[in-house]
Amino acid sequence: MPNGYMGKILEIDLTSKKITTIDTDMKLAEKFVGGRGMGAKYLWDRIKSPGLDPLSPENPLMFWTGPLTGTAIPGPSRITVCTKSANTSPLSSPYPHASTVAWSCMGGQFAPELKFAGYDGIIIIGKSDKPVYIVIDDAKVDIKDAAHLWGKSTNQTDLLLQKELGPQFRTIYIGPAGENLVKFAAIISESSRAAGRSGVGCVMGSKKLKAIAVRGTNVVPVADPEGMIKLRKEMFAALESWNAYDQWRRWGTASMLIASSQAGTHVTRNFREGTYEQVDKIGAPISEKEFWVKHRSCYQCPLRCMKIGQVTSGPYKGTIAEGPEYETGTMHGSNCLVTDLGGMMKSIELADDLGLDSITTGNILGFLMELYEKGIVTRADLDGIDMKWGNIEAMLAIQQKIAKREGVGDILAEGVKKAAAKFGQDAEKYAIQIKGQELAAWNIPANHGFAIVYGTSNRGACHQVGPTVEEQHRRTMCDTLVICRFPYYGIGTALYQKALNVITGWKLDDTGFFKVAERIWNLEKVFNVREGFRRADDYVPKRFTTEAFTVGPKKGAILPPETQEKILDEYYTKRGWDVKTSLPGEAKLKELGLEDLVPVVQGLK
């Protein structure tokens, strides 16, 4: 068995109900490592031509661990879900079902348990003719009837699976949104851990797969166990000396709510402003005082950034939810001009319970409120819902309609890009998306680097990829190892690179480490350009280049169009790509050992 790997990948065909194991290809592992890297490679190998419908049985749904997963190193808790995206699309393509690569990560305990069961990943293909769930108990794998789970919320599903299988099993599942093929449906674990972006829950629902449960008793092999324990101590010491360590443990990502508003990078009123004057009503201090009751951690992480709370007064008294995190608190808070902390937490909890991507949901709610304010949609258009800014009951009602695809919810379930096209009347001006994926909770005019972050991400608008080529490579390695970014920020690249070598026995230097990330990024890019994506798809919404902020410390901030052109030119040049089209260059692909992709790109010119 190779060190750092379990040596097996589980493949399940839901059409034929055939269950097989395949050997982990260590030559591929050395080039793509794990997680997002292995996902990109297998996606390319399995999807031979562009235009495949993401909801077709042929689209693989993959769950990948990394070589650090399940070890004693800090932060190796995450699972990377890879597939072809259900909610992205180019401006123009000859293929009706063109979309980007998709990856989405979530923490918790599922990924380590999958390694303990003996697998480096799971590949799901085909489509069941009825709802099913998968139970993995070490080498014993069963496909079971899920009729009793279908239609249940994520919280209900979690409780039913615990009762049925026992608490030793770690589970992931979809809610009604995934079952009803909402294009931005999420995969949920532990009630609030979410692989939310890219519509991965929609793909899972298209396969009639409700849940996966896993229990394992194996140990991950390590090349140098003593070296790992020594390095673990060094990594924990580095993390504890991080200047944000105490703040992160106390407040988690909610610590950034007030700070970003003060910096002018906050998302307020459907991205119209960068500052929220009432952010103190939804920020970390008041959440700590009035809402939080406990902290939780993912596997092998001392940051305990999950904050669990209970609403103790008002109309939503009794609501138990995780958060607010920065993204959810912003998108369900300031983006919708919400000032009621309890109501905001109810909205966040409902998104998780329905199995919706909370970021996209908050984006769509703000979009709808602005359309309502401007008279582009009326109360009659919204099935009688009064979509005024800050109306919590309206936010809850719209979420229910989206998850069930009822009334106007059927339009909104397609995502903000397609919904805007359906509404017409200039609604597209207020649809804040890139490549079809809705922007997250960081605003662009006060920090132009976010134009690169959102615009050049290979999965559509994504706040996590970084504003420079170098930072994009560092974060790609986080998704590939597979580790959480939060301890990584405190521990740093060098120690995680060392951990990879200690665990696997490899001797990867700085150049080789980041070459893996660059190889992954370019492979994803070639997948996308084959689908029809070009430079024109990397531009930010016009709101950011035409409407300056009117309030706050960054009043007057805007992204000048010429600045956007300049930073994109510089970015493509540094990548070794064609500046006019964004197509990867032949020399760059050969340098990365991706020679087989050269004819593909040449055929697109």
CATH number of the structural domain spanning residue 429:
1.10.569.10
User: Residue 222 domain-assigned?
Assistant: no
Confidence of residue 317 (pLDDT cuts 50, 70, 90): very high
Q: What are 211's strand-pairing partners?
A: 133, 173
pLDDT at 549: 98
User: Residue 238 domain-assigned?
Assistant: no
Peptide bond into 482 cis (omega under 30): yes
- 384 lies in the same domain as 469: no
User: Domain containing 431: what range?
Assistant: 253-438
Cβ–Cβ contacts within 10 Å for residue 8, how many?
A: 17
**Percent of the chain scored above 90 by pLDDT?**
99
Instruction: Give the type of residue at 284.
Output: A
Nearest-angstrom CA–CA distance, 510 and 283:
39
Which of 376, 410, 438 is the last residue in one of the domains?
438
User: Residue 597 domain-assigned?
Assistant: yes
Nearest-angstrom CA–CA distance, 481 and 80:
10
Nearest in space to 5 (alpha carbons), one of 605, 493, 481: 481
- Tokens 């014993």 belong to 140
- 271 lies in the same domain as 208: no
Nearest-angstrom CA–CA distance, 444 and 206:
35
- 335 lies in the same domain as 433: yes
Q: pLDDT tens for residues 272-286?
A: 999 999 999 999 999
- Tokens 């849940």 belong to 211
- 332 lies in the same domain as 459: no
User: Residue 227 domain-assigned?
Assistant: no
Q: How many domains does the chain have?
A: 3
- 486 lies in the same domain as 560: yes
Nearest in space to 504 (alpha carbons), one of 69, 22, 37: 69
- 30 lies in the same domain as 161: yes
- 168 lies in the same domain as 308: no
Instruction: Give the type of residue at 51.
Output: G
Q: pLDDT tens for residues 200-256?
A: 999 999 999 999 999 999 999 999 999 999 999 999 999 999 999 999 999 999 999
Nearest-angstrom CA–CA distance, 39 and 570:
28
Query: What SS3 class is residue 154?
Result: helix
Nearest-angstrom CA–CA distance, 319 and 342:
8
pLDDT at 1: 80
User: Residue 70 domain-assigned?
Assistant: yes
Nearest-angstrom CA–CA distance, 352 and 153:
9
Residue 518 has pLDDT above 90, yes or no: yes
pLDDT at 102: 98
The H or E element containing residue 129 is none
- Tokens 């590949």 belong to 123
CB 10 within 8 A of CB 141: yes
The H or E element containing residue 123 is strand 121-125
DSSP-derived letter for residue 198 is G
Nearest in space to 1 (alpha carbons), one of 219, 224, 226, 229: 219
Q: pLDDT tens for residues 365-422?
A: 999 999 999 999 999 999 999 999 999 999 999 999 999 999 999 999 999 999 999 9
Which of 383, 414, 438 is the last residue in one of the domains?
438
Cβ neighbours for 90, distance < 8 A, ≥ 6 positions apart: 98, 435, 531, 532, 533, 534, 537
User: Residue 205 domain-assigned?
Assistant: yes
CB 556 within 8 A of CB 549: yes
Over range 460-473, report the average pLDDT.
96
Render 96-115 in DSSP notation, one character per residue.
TT---EEEEEE-SSHHHHHH
Sign of the torsion angle spanned by Cα atoms 431, 434, 436, 442: negative
The terminus-to-terminus CA distance of the chain in angstroms comes to 44
CB 224 within 8 A of CB 406: no
Q: pLDDT tens for residues 322-349?
A: 999 999 999 999 999 999 999 999 999 9
Nearest-angstrom CA–CA distance, 293 and 280:
19
- 208 lies in the same domain as 271: no
User: Residue 228 domain-assigned?
Assistant: no
Q: What is the 3-state secondary structure of 469-494?
A: HHHHHHHHHHHHHCCCHHHHHHHCHH
- 394 lies in the same domain as 413: yes
Query: What SS3 class is residue 265?
Result: coil
Residues in the chain: 605
The H or E element containing residue 140 is strand 140-145
- Tokens 């995934």 belong to 178
**Average pLDDT over the chain, rounded to whole?**
97
CATH number of the domain where residue 558 is located: 1.10.599.10
- pTM value is 0.97
- 428 lies in the same domain as 457: no
- 264 lies in the same domain as 331: yes
pLDDT at 605: 77
- 407 lies in the same domain as 511: no
Cβ–Cβ contacts within 10 Å for residue 49, how many?
A: 7
Nearest-angstrom CA–CA distance, 260 and 391:
24
Over range 486-507, report the average pLDDT.
96
Instruction: Give the type of residue at 198.
Output: S
- Tokens 């050969």 belong to 590
CATH number of the domain where residue 164 is located: 3.60.9.10
Nearest-angstrom CA–CA distance, 192 and 211:
15
Nearest-angstrom CA–CA distance, 150 and 174:
9
Residue 592 has pLDDT above 80, yes or no: yes
DSSP-derived letter for residue 253 is G
CB 94 within 8 A of CB 188: no
CB 488 within 8 A of CB 42: no
- Residue 152: both structure tokens together: 């249940």
Nearest-angstrom CA–CA distance, 68 and 86:
29
Residue 507 has pLDDT above 80, yes or no: yes
- Residue 471: both structure tokens together: 């930072």
CB 397 within 8 A of CB 409: no
